[in-house]
Amino acid sequence: MIALPTGGAIPQLAFGLYKVSADADGESIVAEAIKAGYRHFDTASYYGNEHTLGRALRASGIAREEFFVTSKVWNDAQKEGRAGVHRSVLQSIAALDFGGYIDLFLIHWPVPGCFVETYKELELLHQEGKLRHLGLSNFSPAEYEELMSEENDITVPPVVNQFEVSPFMYRPKDVAYFQQKGVLVSSSKSLHRAGECLNNPQLVEISQHHSVTPAQIMLRWGIQKDLVVVSKTATPKRMAENRALFHFALSEEEMSVLDRLTTAEDVAKREQLEMERKQQM
């Protein structure tokens, strides 16, 4: 658990629901994640599976207070103005159908010209008790500064900014900026889309030294960076492995090696992609 700046705490390990199907198979995946010990689940209206998550959580028989649910408002609702945001949030709460509130609610992307009013509507929903904590996703430092400018009179500070962070997409200045502002960084794509990166020779060497998988090394790196670590797998064995991160620790030298796996070209490509996405919103 990591303490939240506004009180309470958030489970550091989260199970992500991006591309988890909105059917019985998806419900089974969530059920297996619950069995593996996950209590923090990260979904979004865009994922289309909030109702699937809710069914699995209710079926578990575990009390609502034992779970921490994160969801997000999508771009189209933001473009409809505050009424659209309000409607979208209520739809998310209804789809989840689990306690009548969501623990952490994020703006999925900072839609230009919209995200300030979106956040103000989330503040009202927070005051009504429907959203316990507020946060951001894919915000740059400049966009955060725009949101938090004095003229906007933000009264409920965001507690989290979620964006892509892993040893293969590490932007230390951005991570440090938000952490110094008292905003937790949540790492989407903690395993960097897995695939070829798990065969990286330096990563494999470190994993062999600790007798764990390369994926466990990547997730442990995030833990030691004080990130909220979001990962996903459909395999029960890997669900358990991805939570088995606290019986070993990475040395300063190993952390430094992992820090350097991201190249300047990697960062430039990612930032270009993010800029293009925001321009197209």
Sign (positive/negative) of CA torsion 216, 22, 159, 94? negative
Q: Report pLDDT for 275.
A: 86
pTM for this entry = 0.95
Q: Report pLDDT for 193.
A: 64
How many residues in the chain?
A: 281
Describe the crossing of helices 236-243 and 24-36 by its angle, rounded to 10 degrees: 40
Residues of the chain with pLDDT under 70: 193-194
Q: Fill in the amino acid letter for 252.
A: E
Q: Fill in the amino acid letter for 224.
A: Q
Partners of 49 in beta bridges: none
Expressed in angstroms, the distance from the first to the final Cα of the chain is 35
**Look-up: residue for tokens 């919209």?**
114
Sign (positive/negative) of CA torsion 237, 103, 86, 31? positive
Active site residues: 47
Q: Which residues contact 135 (CB under 8 A, 6 or more apart)?
A: 70, 104, 105, 106, 107, 158, 159, 160, 161, 162, 183, 186
Q: Report pLDDT for 190.
A: 86
CB atoms under 10 Å from CB of 107, counted, come to: 29
Report the alpha-carbon distance of residue 180 to residue 249 in Å, rounded.
Answer: 24
Distances (CA, A) of 190 to 6, 83, 125, 193, 231: 25, 34, 30, 8, 6
The number of C-alpha atoms within 13 Å of 17 and in the hemisphere containing its C-beta is 35
